[in-house]
Structure 1
Amino acid sequence: MRSIEWSDGIWQRQPVRAVEEPDGGLSVEPGAGSDLWRHTSYGFVHDDAPALLAPFPVDSAVEVDFRLAWAEQFDQAGVLVRVDDRNWVKAGVEVSDGQPQVGAVVTREVSDWSVAPVPDWAGREVTVRVSRAGDALTVRARVAGEPWRLVRLAPLDPDAEASAGPYCCSPSRAGLTVHFTAWRQGSADNALHPEP
C-alpha cells in the first residue's frame, strides 16, 4: 500500500474545518447535521457529509485509519466510495444505540444499513479497507493488531467511475472532530475468503 497525501484528495462537500496536524494526520470537523442517506425508513435524502476523494479504479483497494474518539449518537467516520449522488457506499464506525458499531450503508437509489457492535474498539485506532475487484466491493475493518473482520460484500458496476477516501459526518450535533491518521491505496484483495 502507498500513502496518499491529504492534498491529493478533492473534497466532496467542504468540512467546517480540516487541519493537517504535526503528527501527519488530518483533523476534520463536519457540519452540524451532516449525513449521507437516501430515503429508506427515514424518508429523507442527505448528501452533505465531507469526504476527501481520489480516483478508485477496479483492481485497487483503499484504506483509511482514524482514532475512534467519539460517543454521540450517529457520529461516524470511515471510507466513502462514490459513483454519484444515487450510487455510493460508506463503511466505517458509527455510534448507534449507545455504542460504536462497525458497518456499511450501500446505496443504489435507496440506502440500506448493516451494523455490528464493537464496544472494545472505543478509543483505539481503526482501519477500514475497501477492495474493488470485478463487480464487487469487499469491506473489511479492524483495530491495530487484530485480524481483519469482513463487514460487507456489495455490488459495484465494473465500468463505473468511482472515487474513494475518508469521510465523516455528524447527523445529530455540531462539534465532532475526527482525527484521520492515514490514507493508503494499493492492490485489490486476492480473494474474499482467506486461505484456511
Structure 2
Amino acid sequence: MQEFLDQATWTHPPVSSEADGGNLLVEAVQGSDYWEKTYYGFQRDSGHALLAPVTGDGALEVTFKTSYDSLYDQAGLMIRTDESNWIKAGVEITDGEPHVGAVVTREYSDWSLSPVPEWAHTNVTIRASWTGNSVVLRARSEKAPWRTIRVAHLDITGSTRAGLYVAAPERAGLTVSFSRASFGPADESLHAQPAEQH
C-alpha cells in the first residue's frame, strides 16, 4: 500500500484520509459521485479517487471492507484518462443490498451490476487488467473465487491513472477502510485465473 500511496494523488480530497495500521481510512464528502449524463441526466465528477500513473500493460488490485449499507454508498477502483473517459468498479449499495458492478464512461456512463448480499461486511478485492485499450474487470470476496464482471474499452494514454475510489452520493459519514492497492502484470488470459498479486 505504501508504494502506491507514494505515487498517488486525489482527484478531489475527501473529508479525511488517515493511516490505520496498514490500512487507509477514507471518509467521503456527502454528495460525492462520478457519473456522466446517462439516464439521470446529471454530470458529477466529485468523487474521491486516489490515483497513480499507469504505464504500459498492467493490472491493479484494490482491497477494501464493505462495512457500509446506505443507498449508493460505493467503493472500489478507478481507471481514469480524463473527466469524460474512465471506469469505476466496486461494490455499491442499491435496492437494499450490496451489488458488484462497473460504470464505463466514454462521454456517457453506463452501469452494469449484480447483487452480492453475501459480500456484506467482508473484504472484497476488485481487479482491473489492461492490455492495450482492453480492460478486464474481476472481483472476489475473501471467501469466494474470482468472477469476471466486465470486459470494456478505455483509451489508455499517457495521462491515464488508476487507483482506489470512494463516493457517497446521498449521505455524510461514509468511511471505507482500504487494506491494499497494488500494481502488477496484466492477466495472461481472459479465461484463466489471474496470478496471485501482493
TM-score normalized with structure 2 length: 0.93
Segments of 5+ residues of structure 1 without an aligned counterpart are none
State the alpha-carbon separation in 2 of the partners of residues 171 and 69 from structure 1. Answer: 16
Where does 1:38-77 land on structure 2 (aligned, <5 Å)? 38-77=36-75
Q: Does 1:18 align with 2:49?
A: no
Matched with 1:110 is 108
What residue number does 1:29 align with? 27
Amino acid of the residue matched to residue 26 of structure 2?
Answer: V
Query: Is 2:113 the partner of 1:150?
Result: no
Return the alpha-carbon distance in structure 2 between the equivalents of residues 193 and 187 of structure 1.
16
Q: Is the 8 A contact 1:12 1:50 kept in 2?
A: yes
Change (3 A) 1:16 1:159: closer
1:6 corresponds to: 5
How far, CA to CA, are the matches of 2:150 and 2:100 in structure 1?
A: 10
Q: Which residue number corresponds to residue 141 of structure 1?
A: 139
- Between the aligned partners of 1:162 and 1:74, the Cα distance in structure 2 is 26
Give the equivalent residue in structure 1 for 2:99: 101
Q: Is the 8 A contact 1:3 1:185 kept in 2?
A: no
Q: Is the 8 A contact 2:73 2:169 kept in 1?
A: yes
| SS of the residue 2:155 aligns to | coil
Deviation at 1:104, TM superposition (A): 0.2
Distance 2:81 2:113 in 1: 22
Q: For the Cα contact (< 8 Å) 1:25–1:181, is it kept in 2?
A: yes
Q: 1:152 to 1:160 in 2, by over 3 A?
A: farther
Give the counterpart letter for 2:167 in structure 1.
Answer: C
- 2:162 aligned partner, one-letter code: A
Give distance in 2, aligned partners of 1:148 and 1:162: 25
Distance 2:55 2:42 in 1: 30
Change (3 A) 1:153 1:160: farther
Note the residue ranges of structure 2 that are not aligned, 5 or more in a row. 194-198
**8 Å contact from structure 1 (residues 15, 28) kept in 2:** yes
Matched-pair contact (CA < 8 Å) for 1:125–1:144: yes
Letter in 1 for 2:32: S
Other-structure match for 1:172: 170
Instruction: Indicate conservation of the 8 Å contact 2:4/2:52, yes or no.
Output: no
What does the per-residue CA deviation read over 1:16-68, in whole Å, with 9 as the maximum and x for residues that have no partner? 1001112x100001100100000001010000101110012231100000001
What is the rounded CA distance, in whole Å, between the counterparts of 1:87 and 1:5 in structure 2?
A: 22
State the distance in 2 between where 1:121 and 1:141 align: 11
Q: Separation in 1 of the partners of 2:109 and 2:88?
A: 10
Q: Which amino acid aligns with 2:75?
A: A
Q: Which amino acid is 2:12 matched to?
A: R
- Given that 2:92 and 2:98 are in contact with CA atoms closer than 8 Å, whether structure 1 keeps it comes out as yes
Tell me if the contact between 1:6 and 1:26 (Cα under 8 Å) persists in the aligned partners: no
